[in-house]
Structure 1
Amino acid sequence: MPVIGIGGFFFRAQDPDALVIWYRETLGIGVGCGKDEQGETSDWFWYPEPGPVVFAPFKAATDYFASDKSYMLNFRVRDLDGLLEQLNALGIAITTKDEWDTPETGRFARIHDPEGNPIELWEPPAA
Protein backbone atom coordinates (compact mmCIF):
# COMPACT_ATOMS: atom_id res chain seq x y z
CA MET A 1 0.00 0.00 0.00
CA PRO A 2 1.33 3.46 -0.84
CA VAL A 3 -0.23 5.29 2.14
CA ILE A 4 2.16 5.25 5.10
CA GLY A 5 0.51 7.61 7.58
CA ILE A 6 -1.53 10.72 8.17
CA GLY A 7 0.08 13.72 6.53
CA GLY A 8 -2.15 16.38 8.03
CA PHE A 9 -5.54 17.26 9.40
CA PHE A 10 -7.18 20.37 7.99
CA PHE A 11 -10.40 21.96 9.20
CA ARG A 12 -12.27 25.23 8.97
CA ALA A 13 -12.13 27.68 11.87
CA GLN A 14 -13.62 31.07 12.66
CA ASP A 15 -10.21 32.26 13.92
CA PRO A 16 -7.47 29.93 12.63
CA ASP A 17 -4.61 32.00 14.05
CA ALA A 18 -6.11 31.91 17.55
CA LEU A 19 -6.69 28.14 17.33
CA VAL A 20 -3.09 27.52 16.25
CA ILE A 21 -1.94 29.35 19.38
CA TRP A 22 -4.49 27.58 21.62
CA TYR A 23 -3.49 24.11 20.44
CA ARG A 24 0.23 24.90 20.73
CA GLU A 25 0.02 26.55 24.17
CA THR A 26 -2.69 24.33 25.69
CA LEU A 27 -1.84 20.89 24.32
CA GLY A 28 1.67 21.33 22.89
CA ILE A 29 0.62 20.28 19.40
CA GLY A 30 0.64 21.79 15.94
CA VAL A 31 3.16 23.68 13.88
CA GLY A 32 6.42 24.29 15.68
CA CYS A 33 5.92 21.47 18.18
CA GLY A 34 8.08 18.40 18.54
CA LYS A 35 11.43 17.77 16.90
CA ASP A 36 12.46 15.97 13.74
CA GLU A 37 15.09 13.20 13.53
CA GLN A 38 17.86 15.82 13.73
CA GLY A 39 16.34 17.45 16.83
CA GLU A 40 15.07 20.47 14.87
CA THR A 41 11.64 22.14 15.02
CA SER A 42 9.79 23.60 12.05
CA ASP A 43 7.46 26.55 11.50
CA TRP A 44 5.41 24.29 9.18
CA PHE A 45 5.29 20.90 10.89
CA TRP A 46 4.38 19.15 14.10
CA TYR A 47 6.55 16.12 14.86
CA PRO A 48 4.45 13.80 17.06
CA GLU A 49 5.97 10.80 18.76
CA PRO A 50 5.50 7.52 16.88
CA GLY A 51 2.68 5.32 18.04
CA PRO A 52 -0.67 3.87 17.11
CA VAL A 53 -3.29 5.84 15.19
CA VAL A 54 -6.95 4.84 14.95
CA PHE A 55 -8.69 5.71 11.69
CA ALA A 56 -12.33 4.76 12.11
CA PRO A 57 -15.49 6.06 10.47
CA PHE A 58 -18.47 6.00 12.84
CA LYS A 59 -22.12 5.52 12.00
CA ALA A 60 -23.87 8.81 11.27
CA ALA A 61 -26.15 8.30 14.28
CA THR A 62 -23.35 7.58 16.78
CA ASP A 63 -23.59 9.09 20.23
CA TYR A 64 -19.83 8.67 20.80
CA PHE A 65 -19.45 12.41 20.14
CA ALA A 66 -21.81 15.35 19.52
CA SER A 67 -24.24 14.87 16.66
CA ASP A 68 -23.61 18.40 15.33
CA LYS A 69 -19.92 17.58 14.72
CA SER A 70 -18.68 15.44 11.86
CA TYR A 71 -15.40 14.50 13.54
CA MET A 72 -13.65 14.24 16.89
CA LEU A 73 -9.91 14.63 17.28
CA ASN A 74 -8.20 11.99 19.41
CA PHE A 75 -4.73 12.72 20.77
CA ARG A 76 -2.43 10.18 22.39
CA VAL A 77 -1.05 11.55 25.66
CA ARG A 78 1.43 10.62 28.33
CA ASP A 79 0.42 11.33 31.96
CA LEU A 80 -3.29 12.00 31.45
CA ASP A 81 -3.72 12.98 35.11
CA GLY A 82 -1.00 15.63 34.86
CA LEU A 83 -2.48 17.04 31.66
CA LEU A 84 -5.96 17.15 33.19
CA GLU A 85 -4.59 19.11 36.16
CA GLN A 86 -3.09 21.66 33.74
CA LEU A 87 -6.30 21.91 31.72
CA ASN A 88 -8.39 22.27 34.88
CA ALA A 89 -6.12 25.11 36.04
CA LEU A 90 -6.82 26.85 32.70
CA GLY A 91 -10.55 26.55 33.34
CA ILE A 92 -11.14 24.06 30.52
CA ALA A 93 -14.18 21.82 31.04
CA ILE A 94 -13.20 18.15 31.21
CA THR A 95 -15.41 15.09 30.93
CA THR A 96 -14.33 11.66 32.14
CA LYS A 97 -16.37 8.50 32.60
CA ASP A 98 -15.26 5.31 34.31
CA GLU A 99 -16.85 3.20 31.56
CA TRP A 100 -14.53 4.75 28.94
CA ASP A 101 -11.43 3.34 30.66
CA THR A 102 -10.30 -0.28 30.38
CA PRO A 103 -6.99 -2.07 30.90
CA GLU A 104 -7.11 -3.13 27.23
CA THR A 105 -7.70 0.29 25.68
CA GLY A 106 -6.36 2.74 28.27
CA ARG A 107 -7.83 5.91 29.75
CA PHE A 108 -9.81 8.72 28.13
CA ALA A 109 -10.98 12.27 28.78
CA ARG A 110 -12.83 14.78 26.62
CA ILE A 111 -12.44 18.51 26.17
CA HIS A 112 -13.38 21.07 23.49
CA ASP A 113 -11.26 23.71 21.81
CA PRO A 114 -12.40 27.37 21.92
CA GLU A 115 -14.57 26.84 18.82
CA GLY A 116 -16.34 23.82 20.31
CA ASN A 117 -14.50 21.11 18.39
CA PRO A 118 -14.47 17.87 20.38
CA ILE A 119 -11.12 16.48 21.51
CA GLU A 120 -10.57 13.08 23.07
CA LEU A 121 -7.39 12.63 25.09
CA TRP A 122 -6.19 9.01 25.16
CA GLU A 123 -3.54 7.53 27.41
CA PRO A 124 -2.84 4.06 25.97
CA PRO A 125 -2.32 1.22 28.44
CA ALA A 126 1.19 0.81 29.79
CA ALA A 127 3.21 -1.63 27.71
Structure 2
Amino acid sequence: MPVIGLGGYFFRAQDPEGLSTWYRETLGVGGGCGKDENGESSDWFWYPEPGPVVFSPFAATTDYFAADKQVMLNFRVRDLDGLLEQLNALGIEITTKDEWDTPETGRFARIHDPEGNPIELWEPPAG
Protein backbone atom coordinates (compact mmCIF):
# COMPACT_ATOMS: atom_id res chain seq x y z
CA MET A 1 0.00 0.00 0.00
CA PRO A 2 1.31 3.48 -0.82
CA VAL A 3 -0.19 5.20 2.27
CA ILE A 4 2.19 4.91 5.22
CA GLY A 5 0.57 7.10 7.88
CA LEU A 6 -1.43 10.13 8.80
CA GLY A 7 0.16 13.21 7.25
CA GLY A 8 -2.03 15.91 8.71
CA TYR A 9 -5.42 16.87 10.01
CA PHE A 10 -6.94 20.10 8.72
CA PHE A 11 -10.13 21.75 9.89
CA ARG A 12 -11.82 25.14 9.75
CA ALA A 13 -11.73 27.47 12.75
CA GLN A 14 -13.13 30.89 13.57
CA ASP A 15 -9.78 31.84 15.16
CA PRO A 16 -7.09 29.56 13.63
CA GLU A 17 -4.17 31.25 15.39
CA GLY A 18 -5.88 31.27 18.78
CA LEU A 19 -7.02 27.66 18.42
CA SER A 20 -3.51 26.56 17.38
CA THR A 21 -2.15 28.25 20.50
CA TRP A 22 -4.78 26.54 22.68
CA TYR A 23 -3.92 23.07 21.32
CA ARG A 24 -0.19 23.68 21.68
CA GLU A 25 -0.35 25.14 25.21
CA THR A 26 -3.18 22.98 26.60
CA LEU A 27 -2.49 19.58 25.04
CA GLY A 28 1.02 19.81 23.56
CA VAL A 29 -0.36 19.25 20.04
CA GLY A 30 0.67 21.07 16.88
CA GLY A 31 3.64 22.77 15.30
CA GLY A 32 6.62 23.04 17.60
CA CYS A 33 5.58 20.09 19.78
CA GLY A 34 7.77 17.00 20.05
CA LYS A 35 11.08 16.29 18.35
CA ASP A 36 12.09 14.36 15.25
CA GLU A 37 14.50 11.39 15.19
CA ASN A 38 17.44 13.83 15.37
CA GLY A 39 16.07 15.63 18.43
CA GLU A 40 15.03 18.67 16.39
CA SER A 41 11.68 20.46 16.52
CA SER A 42 9.92 22.55 13.90
CA ASP A 43 7.45 25.41 14.18
CA TRP A 44 5.43 23.75 11.40
CA PHE A 45 5.43 20.06 12.44
CA TRP A 46 4.20 18.09 15.44
CA TYR A 47 6.23 14.97 16.15
CA PRO A 48 3.92 12.61 18.07
CA GLU A 49 5.21 9.41 19.63
CA PRO A 50 4.72 6.29 17.49
CA GLY A 51 1.74 4.16 18.35
CA PRO A 52 -1.62 2.93 17.13
CA VAL A 53 -4.03 5.15 15.23
CA VAL A 54 -7.70 4.26 14.79
CA PHE A 55 -9.22 5.34 11.48
CA SER A 56 -12.93 4.59 11.61
CA PRO A 57 -15.98 6.08 9.93
CA PHE A 58 -18.99 6.13 12.24
CA ALA A 59 -22.63 5.83 11.21
CA ALA A 60 -24.21 9.19 10.42
CA THR A 61 -26.68 8.52 13.24
CA THR A 62 -24.07 7.77 15.93
CA ASP A 63 -24.52 9.28 19.35
CA TYR A 64 -20.86 8.64 20.23
CA PHE A 65 -20.20 12.36 19.66
CA ALA A 66 -22.37 15.41 18.97
CA ALA A 67 -24.64 15.16 15.94
CA ASP A 68 -23.75 18.71 14.84
CA LYS A 69 -20.05 17.78 14.50
CA GLN A 70 -18.69 15.89 11.52
CA VAL A 71 -15.54 14.63 13.29
CA MET A 72 -14.07 13.99 16.72
CA LEU A 73 -10.35 14.13 17.45
CA ASN A 74 -8.89 11.29 19.50
CA PHE A 75 -5.51 11.79 21.15
CA ARG A 76 -3.44 8.99 22.68
CA VAL A 77 -2.24 10.08 26.12
CA ARG A 78 0.03 8.90 28.89
CA ASP A 79 -1.16 9.43 32.49
CA LEU A 80 -4.78 10.32 31.78
CA ASP A 81 -5.42 11.12 35.45
CA GLY A 82 -2.55 13.64 35.51
CA LEU A 83 -3.76 15.30 32.31
CA LEU A 84 -7.32 15.50 33.63
CA GLU A 85 -6.04 17.23 36.78
CA GLN A 86 -4.26 19.82 34.61
CA LEU A 87 -7.32 20.35 32.42
CA ASN A 88 -9.58 20.65 35.46
CA ALA A 89 -7.24 23.29 36.91
CA LEU A 90 -7.67 25.25 33.66
CA GLY A 91 -11.45 25.10 34.07
CA ILE A 92 -11.98 22.78 31.11
CA GLU A 93 -15.14 20.68 31.38
CA ILE A 94 -14.35 16.95 31.37
CA THR A 95 -16.72 14.05 30.74
CA THR A 96 -15.92 10.48 31.78
CA LYS A 97 -18.16 7.41 31.82
CA ASP A 98 -17.36 4.05 33.36
CA GLU A 99 -18.82 2.23 30.34
CA TRP A 100 -16.22 3.83 28.04
CA ASP A 101 -13.33 2.14 29.89
CA THR A 102 -12.40 -1.51 29.41
CA PRO A 103 -9.24 -3.52 30.04
CA GLU A 104 -9.14 -4.35 26.29
CA THR A 105 -9.40 -0.79 24.97
CA GLY A 106 -8.13 1.40 27.81
CA ARG A 107 -9.52 4.54 29.42
CA PHE A 108 -11.26 7.54 27.89
CA ALA A 109 -12.30 11.09 28.69
CA ARG A 110 -13.89 13.84 26.61
CA ILE A 111 -13.27 17.55 26.42
CA HIS A 112 -14.03 20.26 23.84
CA ASP A 113 -11.74 22.89 22.38
CA PRO A 114 -12.70 26.59 22.64
CA GLU A 115 -14.71 26.31 19.39
CA GLY A 116 -16.72 23.31 20.63
CA ASN A 117 -14.92 20.58 18.68
CA PRO A 118 -15.05 17.27 20.57
CA ILE A 119 -11.77 15.73 21.71
CA GLU A 120 -11.47 12.21 23.06
CA LEU A 121 -8.46 11.50 25.26
CA TRP A 122 -7.43 7.86 25.16
CA GLU A 123 -5.01 6.08 27.46
CA PRO A 124 -4.41 2.69 25.81
CA PRO A 125 -4.22 -0.35 28.09
CA ALA A 126 -0.83 -1.02 29.66
CA GLY A 127 1.06 -3.77 28.05
TM-score, structure 1 normalization: 1.00
Find the aligned partners of 2:28 and 2:102 in 1 and give their Cα distance: 26
Find the aligned partners of 1:20 and 1:80 in 2 and give their Cα distance: 22
* Structure 2 gaps, min length 5: none
1:25 aligned partner: 25
Find the aligned partners of 2:94 and 2:31 in 1 and give their Cα distance: 24
2:89 aligned partner: 89
1:120 aligned partner: 120
Deviations 1:45-84 (A, max 9, x none): 0000000000000000000000000000000000000000
Find the aligned partners of 2:117 and 2:107 in 1 and give their Cα distance: 20
- Size of the alignment, in residue pairs? 127
1:47 aligns with 2:63: no
Deviations 1:12-57 (A, max 9, x none): 0000000010000000010000000000000110000000000000
1:111 aligned partner: 111
TM-score, structure 2 normalization: 1.00
* Structure 1 gaps, min length 5: none
Find the aligned partners of 2:43 and 2:92 in 1 and give their Cα distance: 27
CA-based RMSD of the aligned residues comes to 0.2
